[in-house]
C-alpha cells in the first residue's frame, strides 16, 4: 500500500507538470513532409509470453504494474536490423529480482510480430539512453544505481547480443553523477564516447582503447579542450546527446528547453531555444530530429549554423489506435528516445525513417503498452545523369544522387561540348518528368528512380578550299562534311611553271594538317614566274630605298639590278603569267641574267657593307629569279611535248634544262639562266 500511495502522489505531480507544459508557447506547426507514414513497430502485449516471460497486467487501478514500463532509451544496430529499447521503470509484481527493468533487442520486421521480434531481454539494466558503435557494441546509460540494477550507476557496455559484459564506466573518478545521454562515434580511427550528465550539467568525452574482436582494454577521459569534461553553460537538466555528420555534439536539455551544440574540441558552444521539453536527438544527413517529452511532438531542425527550425511533427495517435489521454503509474504518455536511419526497400529507393519510444503509451483497451513508433519521414530515389553520345556534353547536376520523392530539380542544364549541339532530354522511366524536353535548361520532377539523359547531335562542318593561281589541292580524307576534331591533310601541287606560296589562316607547310573546329575555308595560293619576278623587284626596290644600305657601290649595283629586272618585266615581252612572246621572249632571260650578275657581284664585293641578313635577302632574290627562269623554260618544254613538236628540238631543250640545273648546283647562276634561255628557245622552235 505504501508503494501505491507513492505512485499516486507521483501521478498527481506528473499530471500538474503536464498541464503547465501544455500552457507554455509552442512553435507553430508547419506543413508536414509529403509522405510521413506512421505505424507501430513494437508493443508489449500483456496477453503474450515473450521468451518465457509473461507480459501480464493486473486490472484497475494498477494498469501500469503489468510488464516493463517507461521505454526511454532507443538505438539501432549498425546494420539497422535491430532496435535496442530500454525500459526505465519497474514492474514490482514481476517475479524477478529486477522487477521488470530491462533492455530488449528487437528485430525490425516489415510485418511486426511482437513476440517473435523480441530477440533477447537483459534484465536489470534500465537503458535510459542507449548507443551502439560500428562493431555492434551496446552502451547503456544507467543514471542511478537502484537496488534492482545489478551493475550500478554508470555506462555499461555489452556485446551485440547483450549477453556478454565488456566494460563499465562507473561514477567514481569519471566526473559522472547521473549520466543519461550516450553517443558513440569515430574521430579518425579513435572510438569516442560522449556522455551527458543531468545533474552535473556536463558533457564528458571518453576515448576507448579497443582490444581484439569487440573487447575493450581501457577507457579514459580526454579532449574537449581539457580534461575531457565540459560544463555546459545555461544547462539545467541534460538528457540525450548525439553527434552529427560534421562531428558536432548536440545535447537536449529537458528543463532549459534548449538544444545545445558544441564542436568536438569544446569550442563554439551555442544553443537554440525550442520552447518545449527536448529529451533526445537523432540525425539524418542534414536534419536533426528532436523528441519532446510530454508534448509528444518532434521538432525538425536544420544542421546549419543557426539550427534553423523546419517543422513540427505530431504522430496521428487516433489513426495508430493509441490513447494519449491517460497515462500510467509513472506519468502521462510521452515521446522519448529516437533513432534515425535510412532503409532501402530497393537499391535505388530509400526511406528516411525514425523510430521513437512512446513512454507510458498504450492502446485504448490498455492491454498493449509502450509502443515504439515508426515514421517514414520521406522517400528518396536514386537519380543519375548521362549524356548521349559519350563525350558530347555535360549536365548540371551531373552526379548520381538521392532526391526526395516529388521533388523538382530546378534547373537541370545541358552544355554541349565543341562540335555538338543540344538535342533533347529523355528519361529511363515515366516516373521522372521533364518540363521542357527540348530546352537546354529546364526542370525535372522526381517520383521514381532512373536516369536523365541529355542527347546531343554532332555538328556537320565543311572544309572549303579555294585555289588562287594555277595548281591543285587534295584533301585526305576527301569528305563532304567533317566532325569537330577531325584531321584533314591538305596537299598543294602547283601546275607546271607555278610555285606554291602558302595557305591562308596561318597554316604552314605542305602538306599541312587541318583540325576541324568550325566551318572552315582555306585558300592555297600559287604564283607564276611573272609574279615571282614582280615580287623580287618590289622587294629589291624596298631594300634599296629603306635607308639601311648606304654604301655607294652597293647602291649602284642594286640600281643596275633593278634596271635590268624592270626591263625583263616589259609587258610586251609577256603573253601571260607563264608564257613569253616567241619572238622577243629571250630578252626576258637576257635582262634577268644581267640583273643576277649584278646581284652576284654585290655579294662577292669585299667592300660591300651589307649585313649578313641583307646578304641572305639578296641570295634569296637570286634563287627566286633563277627558279622563275627555269619555270618559263619548263612550261615551254611541256607545251612542246604536249603539241607533239620536233623530237630533236625537244631533246635539246631537255638537255639544256639539265645543264641549267647543274649550273645552279655549282652556284653559277648566270650560266644557269643562259641554259634555261636556250631550253626555252629550243622548245619554242619545236612547235
> Among 190, 193, 152, 150, which Cα is nearest to 171's?
152
pLDDT over 60 (residue 584): yes
pLDDT over 60 (residue 341): yes
What percent of the chain stands above pLDDT 90?
A: 80
Residues 454 and 487 in one domain: no
pLDDT over 80 (residue 620): yes
Contacts of 285 (CB under 8 A, 6+ apart): 245
pLDDT over 80 (residue 331): no
What percent of the chain stands above pLDDT 70?
A: 90
Residues 253 and 279 in one domain: yes
pLDDT tens across 424-470, in order?
999 999 999 999 999 999 999 999 999 999 999 999 999 999 999 99
pLDDT band at 329 (very low <50, low <70, confident <90, very high): low
CATH number at residue 372: 2.120.10.30
Contacts of 48 (CB under 8 A, 6+ apart): 54, 55, 114, 115
Q: Report CA Rg, the chain.
A: 48
3-state SS class at 667 = coil
Higher pLDDT, 26 or 185: 185
Query: Which of 431, 458, 485 is the last residue before a domain boundary?
Result: 458
Residues 313 and 366 in one domain: yes
pLDDT of residue 361: 87
Strand stretches in 1-107, DSSP E: 37-45, 49-50, 53-54, 69-76, 82-89, 102-107
Query: Which of 437, 458, 479 is the last residue before a domain boundary?
Result: 458
3-state SS class at 118 = strand
Residues 567 and 676 in one domain: yes
3-state SS class at 12 = helix
Residue pair 71/86 in contact (Cβ under 8 Å)? The answer is: yes
Residues 53 and 200 in one domain: yes
d(CA 278, CA 240): 8
Number of residues assigned to the chain: 687
Residues 512 and 597 in one domain: no
Q: How many domains does the chain have?
A: 4
Residues 666 and 553 in one domain: yes
pLDDT band at 16 (very low <50, low <70, confident <90, very high): very low
Residues 28 and 69 in one domain: yes
- Residue-range definition of the domain harbouring residue 510: 463-527
Q: What are 441's three cell numbers?
A: 535548361
Asked which of 174-178, 301-305, 443-447, 533-537 is least confident by mean pLDDT, the reply is 174-178
Residues 339 and 396 in one domain: no
Decide the pairing of beta strands 463-468 and 520-527: parallel
d(CA 267, CA 251): 14
Residue pair 122/101 in contact (Cβ under 8 Å)? The answer is: no
What is the 8-class DSSP label of residue 328?
B
pLDDT tens across 88-131, in order?
865 554 444 445 578 999 999 999 999 899 999 988 788 999 99
Contacts of 100 (CB under 8 A, 6+ apart): 67, 68, 69, 87, 89, 90, 91, 92, 94, 123
Peptide bond into 234 cis (omega under 30): no
CA distance readout (Å), 14 to 331, 372, 645: 5, 22, 130
Q: For the whole model, what pTM was predicted?
A: 0.74
pLDDT of residue 567: 95
Residues 484 and 603 in one domain: no
Mean pLDDT (the chain) is 89
Residue pair 198/204 in contact (Cβ under 8 Å)? The answer is: no
d(CA 168, CA 191): 16
Query: Which of 348, 363, 380 is the last residue before a domain boundary?
Result: 380
Residues 242 and 316 in one domain: yes
pLDDT band at 404 (very low <50, low <70, confident <90, very high): very high
Residues 167 and 80 in one domain: yes
Q: How many whole angstroms from its chain centre is CA 272?
A: 33
pLDDT band at 294 (very low <50, low <70, confident <90, very high): confident
Amino acid at each position: 500500500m505504501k508503494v501505491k500511495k507513492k505512485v499516486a502522489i507521483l501521478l498527481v505531480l506528473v499530471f500538474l507538470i503536464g498541464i503547465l507544459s501544455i500552457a507554455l508557447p509552442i512553435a507553430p506547426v508547419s506543413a508536414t513532409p509529403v509522405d510521413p507514414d506512421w505505424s507501430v513497430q513494437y508493443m508489449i502485449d500483456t496477453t503474450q509470453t515473450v521468451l518465457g516471460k509473461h507480459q501480464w497486467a493486473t486490472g484497475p487501478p494498477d494498469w501500469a504494474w503489468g510488464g516493463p514500463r517507461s521505454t526511454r532509451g532507443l538505438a539501432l544496430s549498425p546494420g539497422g536490423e535491430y532496435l535496442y529499447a530500454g525500459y526505465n521503470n519497474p514492474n514490482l509484481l514481476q517475479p524477478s529480482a529486477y522487477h521488470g527493468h530491462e533492455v530488449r533487442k528487437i528485430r525490425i520486421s516489415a510485418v511486426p510480430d511482437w513476440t517473435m521480434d523480441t530477440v533477447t531481454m537483459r534484465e536489470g539494466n534500465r537503458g535510459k539512453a542507449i548507443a551502439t558503435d560500428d562493431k555492434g557494441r551496446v552502451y547503456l546509460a544507467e543514471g542511478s544505481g537502484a537496488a534492482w540494477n545489478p551493475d550500478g550507476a554508470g555506462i555499461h557496455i555489452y556485446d551485440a547480443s547483450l549477453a556478454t559484459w565488456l566494460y563499465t564506466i562507473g561514477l567514481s573518478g569519471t566526473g559522472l553523477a547521473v549520466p543519461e545521454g550516450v553517443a558513440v562515434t569515430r574521430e579518425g580511427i579513435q572510438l569516442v564516447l560522449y556522455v551527458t550528465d543531468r545533474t552535473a550539467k556536463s558533457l564528458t568525452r571518453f576515448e576507448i582503447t579497443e582490444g581484439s574482436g569487440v573487447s575493450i582494454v581501457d577507457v579514459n577521459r580526454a579532449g574537449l579542450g581539457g580534461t575531457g569534461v565540459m560544463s555546459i553553460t545555461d544547462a539545467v537538466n541534460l538528457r540525450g546527446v548525439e553527434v552529427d555528420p560534421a562531428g558536432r555534439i548536440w545535447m537536449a536539455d529537458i528543463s532549459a528547453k534548449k538544444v545545445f551544440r558544441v564542436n568536438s574540441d569544446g569550442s563554439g558552444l551555442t544553443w537554440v531555444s525550442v520552447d518545449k521539453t527536448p529529451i533526445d536527438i537523432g540525425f539524418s544527413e542534414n536534419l536533426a530530429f528532436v523528441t519532446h517529452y510530454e508534448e509528444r511532438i518532434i521538432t525538425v531542425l536544420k544542421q546549419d549554423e543557426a539550427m534553423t527550425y523546419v517543422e513540427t511533427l505530431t504522430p496521428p495517435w487516433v489513426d495508430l489506435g493509441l490513447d494519449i489521454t491517460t497515462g500510467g503509474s509513472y506519468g502521462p504518455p510521452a515521446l522519448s528516445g529516437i533513432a534515425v536511419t535510412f532503409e532501402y526497400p530497393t537499391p535505388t529507393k530509400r526511406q528516411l525513417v525514425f523510430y521513437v519510444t512512446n513512454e507510458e503509451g498504450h492502446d485504448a483497451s490498455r492491454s498493449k503498452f509502450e509502443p515504439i513508433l515508426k515514421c517514414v519521414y520521406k522517400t528518396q530515389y536514386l537519380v543519375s545523369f548521362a549524356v548521349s553520345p559519350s563525350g558530347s556534353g555535360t549536365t548540371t547536376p551531373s552526379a548520381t544522387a538521392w532526391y526526395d520523392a516529388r521533388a523538382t530539380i530546378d534547373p537541370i542544364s545541358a552544355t554541349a561540348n565543341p562540335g555538338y549541339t543540344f538535342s533533347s532530354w529523355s528519361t529511363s522511366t515515366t516516373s521522372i518528368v521533364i518540363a521542357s524536353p527540348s530546352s537546354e535548361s529546364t526542370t525535372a520532377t522526381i517520383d521514381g528512380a532512373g536516369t536523365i539523359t541529355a542527347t546531343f547531335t554532332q555538328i556537320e562542318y565543311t572544309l572549303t578550299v579555294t585555289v588562287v593561281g594555277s595548281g591543285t589541292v587534295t584533301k585526305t580524307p576527301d569528305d563532304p562534311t567533317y566532325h569537330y576534331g577531325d584531321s584533314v591533310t591538305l596537299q598543294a601541287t602547283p601546275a607546271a611553271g607555278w610555285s606554291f606560296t602558302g595557305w591562308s589562316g596561318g597554316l604552314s607547310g605542305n602538306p599541312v594538317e587541318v583540325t576541324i573546329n568550325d566551318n572552315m575555308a582555306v585558300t592555297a595560293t600559287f604564283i607564276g614566274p611573272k609574279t615571282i619576278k614582280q615580287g623580287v623587284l618590289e622587294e629589291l626596290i624596298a631594300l634599296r630605298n629603306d635607308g639601311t644600305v648606304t654604301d655607294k657601290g652597293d647602291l649602284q649595283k642594286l640600281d643596275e639590278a633593278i634596271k635590268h629586272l624592270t626591263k625583263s618585266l616589259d609587258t610586251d615581252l609577256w603573253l601571260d603569267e607563264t608564257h613569253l612572246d616567241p619572238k622577243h621572249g629571250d630578252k626576258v632571260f637576257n635582262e634577268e641574267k644581267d640583273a643576277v650578275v649584278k646581284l652576284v657581284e654585290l655579294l662577292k664585293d669585299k667592300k660591300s657593307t651589307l649585313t649578313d641578313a641583307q646578304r641572305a635577302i639578296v641570295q634569296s632574290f637570286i634563287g627566286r629569279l633563277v627558279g622563275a627562269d627555269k619555270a618559263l623554260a619548263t612550261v615551254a618544254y611541256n607545251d612542246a611535248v604536249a603539241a607533239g613538236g620536233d623530237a630533236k628540238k625537244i631533246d635539246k631543250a631537255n638537255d639544256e634544262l639539265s645543264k641549267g640545273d647543274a649550273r645552279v648546283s655549282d652556284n653559277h647562276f648566270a650560266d644557269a639562266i643562259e641554259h634555261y634561255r636556250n631550253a626555252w628557245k629550243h622548245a619554242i622552235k619545236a612547235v
